[in-house]
Each structure stands twice: as structure tokens, then as C-alpha cells.
Structure 1
Amino acid sequence: MSLPSTIGPPAESGTGPRFFLMGHLPLYAALLFLLMLFWSGARAWREPVGGGPSPAAAWETAGSLRAGELVVLVLAVMLAAVLLQPLQLPLIRLLEGGRPRLPGAGATRRRQLARKRSWEAAAALPPDGVLAPEQVQRAGAAGHELRRRFPLPDHLVTPTALGNALAAIGDRAGRPYGLDAVAAWPRLYSVLGEQHRALVDDRRDTVDTAARMCAVMALTAPVSAVLLARSGWWLALALVPLALSWISYRGAVQAALAYGESVQVAFDLHRFDLLAALRLAAPAGQADERALNVQLSDLWRQGVPLDPALRYSLNGDAE
């Protein structure tokens, strides 16, 4: 199965709202934070004047910027955003726990497996005995969270919570219908209605923006620490981007869970629209649907030819 990070809307050009939200805003936030530190007098190469950085000096410098200087800063952010755009998918895969593997990935994956076991235990019901309604409800809620947060097979479990939330989408979205979600998604996405496509795009944009903010702030933290290295207790300000990075990562996980729900609903409601677009007649029952979808998934994933006996439907009736 392909990486679950490939389940997403098509990439936009460098002028669309998705690109502005995902590419520009995290960079503007990081640049503003670093410039305010620099303008306040934080320098690693000299002692700060007056015992530490001066916020008043930073605001004074910011207020005195000329139009040309602001244009240069905006163009610099735009250039950086364009150059970093091709790295978005590798960034998501890195935060998923994919390649390149970060140090300690094996230990974190074992912790994720342990968390999955905890959810499985909470979702399990005793084979016998009378259960109270609240016990059944708690087990059902735990089972729901288990399906949202983890893929079913253990070998798909990743070292990170974000990776598992995205892997769960690829594993479960088309499973009830015999569809490989990763292989089917680019085709299903093209037949979604405008309302559902906008919902899917909005939730995936939230995932990507939070992931970019996480990475940018994680890189901003050590740069801030270098600038503040000789500023005494002001060095604690370097924890601000680090905290924002952690918050952004947690936000990306929650956004991925919401995104997974919208993808699941897309398969529930629009899978027959996909068959219609392929000029295939709607199957008569669940068994026929699964058999057909398994054939289509094999074709899209591995290039296995369809059954020659398969008949097309051009006007809603089998030919």
C-alpha cells in the first residue's frame, strides 16, 4: 500500500488560497518572531545593551520600516514558500515516521503499538456475562477511536500519532467495499460533489498547514536559542516556538482524524458515482460490489487486467 500521505487533494499553484495558507503563514510567523528578537538587540556575537533584549527597540524598528523594506520581506517569504513547496509531501512523510527515519523511531513505534493494544483492550467485550449499557457504550466509543487512530494490521503502525491517523485512513476508508483507498482516492476525488470536495480540501489544508507550522517552528527554536545565547534568562523565549511546534503537531493529529472522517464519508456516499464515471453498472448486491471493487483496486494498484467478461453500462443499462 502506498503511503497514506498521498491521500489528499491535488497540489495547487503558487497563487491559490491553499498555497497562501500552508506556505506563507508559517513562514511569516517565524520571520516575525526572529526579526523581533534581532531588532530587540538579541545577538549571539555581542553582549546585549542594557542587560537584555529591548522589546521597545524592536517595536520602534518595526514601525520605522519603509515601504521598500516591507516589499523585500514579503518577496523573501514568497520566494522561500515557492522553494519549500515541493518539500511538503516529504515533510508529511517525515512527521508520519517515514523516511528518513528519525533517531528513536523504533522505540516510539513500540509505544504506538502499546497504545493500540490499550485501545483494543478498552474496545473488547467479555465473551460471556451480562454487560451494563454504559460498558457497551464505553467499549463502542473505544472501538471508534481505535479505528480512527490506528490501522488494523500491526505492520502498518507508524512511530507517530500523525502517521497512524493517516495510515488508518488508507487502511479503513474503502475496506468495507473491497476498495484500496490509496489506489481509488485520486479517481474518487474527481467525482466528488463541490460541497463535499470543499470539506475534504478544507480539512486536508488544515493538516498540511499545521504540519508546516510544526516544522517551521521546530527550526525556529534553535535559531532563536542562538540569537538569545548571551541574553541571560531571555533565552527562555526560545521555548515559545518549541511550544508552538508541539501545539501545531497536536493540531495536525486532530485535523487528520477529522480529515479521515470526511474521506470515509466520501467512499460511503460517492463510490457509485465513481462506477458511473467508469461506465460500469451498479452491482446487484454487496458480494458483487466487493468482487468488482477488488478487481478495480488490483488494476489501479498493480495493473492487473479486468475480467474480460466485465460488461459496461453506457446509458445506465448493462450492455
Structure 2
Amino acid sequence: MGEIAKGVLGGAWTLLAGWILPTALNLGIFFFAIAPSLRRAGPIAELWPATTAGTMLLLLAGSLLLGLVLSALQNPLYRILEGYLLWPAAAYTHGCGRNRRAKADLQDRLMFLRLERRQQAGRSPLPVAAAADLLRLQANRRISRAARKDRRRTDTQRALLGEKLARFPIADSQITPTRLGNAIRRFEEYGHNRYRLDSQVLWNELTGTAPEQVRRQVDLARAGADFFVALLVGHVALIVSAAVALASAHAHKPALLTTIAVVVGLIPLWYRSAVTATDEWAAAVQALVNLGRKPLAEAFGLRLPPTLDAERTMWALVTRLARRPYHERTAELDPYRGTSPQP
């Protein structure tokens, strides 16, 4: 019973922190800044509570209900913000191209700093290939302009460039049109890149067999990103409702315009915060893949082979088995079954 209670409370906490709390904050802004302009409208005037206690009860009930609705809609909400859903083809292509250039520029900037530091150290001449890369980067005006600022950065500030680069997928083919999409895609491809274990295909199996603490870390880390996504979505709804309220005969225009301006200014902040919050989420998923491989293999009746190359072959076959209809090639998993795999 204790374990069941801990699981229920853990799930309730992530729901509360990730979706209900930001919904309550957005509803609070609506009640105090926008609702006064709408309270005298026909249907709203009839339904609006007459007492302060009734208003607070409505705020609480609305937060719970809307928070649950947003939680149920989290997959399409994330897909829109990641660039997978409702994006025109031209916008999708343009966004992917822009992010590929941004990733390449970060790689070039870090390479330029590294090669320049090696050249200045003067311990030994640069290899021919490295010297050619340095000349190429020096001839690139965009990289040269960025390098003038990068030279003034401290080592800690330069490390932040590495963090930005780490928020991109390793493979350019996995680039998405948005920063949030790239920040999430980087850990979605982690298992496949390292072990050929597709964590997206085997997610339920992986989370069902991984150590409980690791699963808990993934849930808690995702709650941070959920919080900012819920705030962002709620702010969009606030802007729409404030624009509607401006057309009301009893509109408090200064308050509404101020609310719109503040909320519009906060949206980029919440978006950047959501992108940054994926760092902890990525670390948790990485731990889930690294530590969950062995129990997952045992749950499949398999044993991890002694070499990494053989393990990558094994997980590629397991992923194929889960993703596609059975094919005779899947029988290549047989050597990995039992107690003594011999790939």
C-alpha cells in the first residue's frame, strides 16, 4: 500500500506542479485583470458568483478542471510548439534550415576558439587539416564577427555556447523548426544514437522495467518543462480573452492593454525557460536509457552481449521487432536469448 500511495502522490505532484499551478496563475490574471470588463456581459453576469468566497471557489475549480484538460492535451500542445503539428510546409522547411545554420555556426564558433587557443599556445604547429579549418573560419565574416565577442567571454560563458550546441540533435536530419523541438529531439534520439535502442518505440517497456528512482527523476524533470509550456499556452488564451474584452461596452481599456503588453512580453521568457528546463529532462532520460537497458533486456528474455557493437545490433533487432511486422530476419535475436548469448 505504501508503494501505491507513493506512486499516486508522485503522479499527483507532477500534475499539480506541471499543469494545475500554472493554470491557476493564468486564471488569477484573468479574474483580476480581464474578468472585470466581462462580468457585466449577459451570460457571464448571470453565472458570476456574487461573493468573494464563491469567486475563489470558482478559481479553484477552474484551475483543477483546466489543468486536467491541458494535461490531457499535452501531446498536441507539445507537437505544435515542437513544429510537428499545424505548421505550413514552407514555415517548417524555413525553420529547419534556420536551425541547421544556427547549429553549424555554434560548431564553427567553438572550433574557432579551440583552434585559436591551440595556435596561441604555440607548443606545436597546427596539423594541416586544423590549419585549413582555421583559415576557413577566419575568412567567414559571420564567424569572425562572433569571434570578436567570444574572445571577451570567460571560460564559463564559453561553456554556455557548448550548452546551446548540446540542445541540438546530433544528426542534422533530426533538426526541427523550433528550439524547443530540437531541445526535446536531442534526448529522444539519445538511445538510438548510442545503443540503437529507440526509446520512443520502447518507451513503455523501458519505463516499466527501469529502476523506480530513475523513472521518478524523468517525471519530475518533465514537470519543469510542463510548467512553462502551460504558462505559455495560458498566456495566449489571456491575450485572446483580453482582445475580446476590449470590444465590450464596459471594458477597462488601460488595464486590458497593460495586461496584453505584459503577457506578450512574458511569452518569450516562458518559451526560453521551457527550452532551458529540458536540460534536466534530457539528463533524466539519458539516465533512464543508460540504467534501464539491462533490466529491459532481461524483461525481453535477453542478455546484454559483451561488446558494444553486438549490443547495438541486438537493440536494433528488438526495435525492429517492436516497430514492424515480424520478419524472418528478426530470428537473428535467437543468439541473444537465454543465459549465454553468442552473437
What is the letter of the counterpart of residue 335 of structure 2? L
**Equivalent residue runs for 1:189-208 within 5 Å:** 189-208=207-226
1:210 maps to: 228
User: Residues 100-179 of structure 1: matches in 2 within 5 Å?
Assistant: 100-101=86-87, 104-124=91-111, 127-128=129-130, 145=163, 148-179=166-197
* Aligned equivalents of 2:37, 2:186: Cα separation in 1: 45
Q: Which residue in 2 is equivalent to 1:312? A: 337
1:16 aligned to 2:12? yes
Instruction: Decide whether the 8 Å contact of 2:304 with 2:336 is kept in 1.
Output: no
How many Å separate the matches in 1 of 2:212 and 2:314?
A: 27
Q: What is the correspondence of 1:267-286 to structure 2 with a 5 Å cutoff?
A: 267-286=289-308
Pair 1:292–1:151, CA change in 2 (3 A):
same
Find the aligned partners of 1:254 and 1:303 in 2 and give their Cα distance.
Answer: 38
State the shift of 1:142 in Å: 8.0
**1:183 Cα offset (Å):** 1.7
Post-superposition shift, 1:233?
4.7
Gap change, CA 1:271 and 1:225, over 3 Å in 2: same
Larger deviation: 263-272 or 143-152? 143-152
The equivalent of 2:56 in structure 1 is 70
Q: Report matched runs for 1:227-238 at 5 Å.
A: 227=245, 231=252, 233-234=254-255, 235-238=257-260
Q: Which runs of 5+ in 1 are unaligned?
A: 1-11, 47-61, 130-134
Task: Choose which of 287, 301, 306 in structure 1 pairs with 2:309.
Answer: 287
Q: Quick one: distance in 2 between partners of 1:318 and 1:44?
A: 71
Name 2:69's counterpart in structure 1. Answer: 83
Amino acid at match of 2:211: G
Q: Secondary structure at the match of 2:130?
A: coil
Q: Which moved more, 1:100-109 or 1:203-212?
A: 100-109
Q: Is the 8 A contact 1:120 1:146 kept in 2?
A: no
Q: 1:92 to 1:296 in 2, by over 3 A?
A: same
Cα distance in 1 between the residues matched to 2:336 and 2:259: 66
1:253 is aligned, of 270, 275, 279, to: 275
CA contact (8 A) 1:148 1:257 kept: no
Question: TM-score if structure 2 supplies the norm length?
Answer: 0.70
Q: List runs of 5+ in structure 2 lacking aligned partners.
A: 1-7, 42-48, 116-128, 132-150
Asked whether 1:25 is paired with 2:50, we answer no
What is the deviation of 1:285? 1.2
Q: 1:296: how far off?
A: 0.9
Q: Percent of aligned pairs with the same residue?
A: 23
Retained in 1: the 8 A contact 2:34–2:242?
no
**Paired position in structure 2 for 1:53:** none
Contact 1:109/1:158 (<8 A) preserved? yes
Please name the residue that 1:92 is paired with. Answer: 78
Task: Assess, with a 3 A threshold, how the Cα gap between structure 1 residues 288 and 146 changes in structure 2: closer, same or farther.
Answer: farther
Q: Is the 8 A contact 1:183 1:297 kept in 2?
A: yes
Report the counterpart of residue 240 of structure 2 in structure 1.
222
Deviates more, 1:224-233 or 1:104-113: 224-233
Check conservation: 1:214, 1:248, Cα contact below 8 A. yes
- CA displacement at 1:292 relative to structure 2: 0.8
Distance 1:214 1:142, change over 3 A: closer
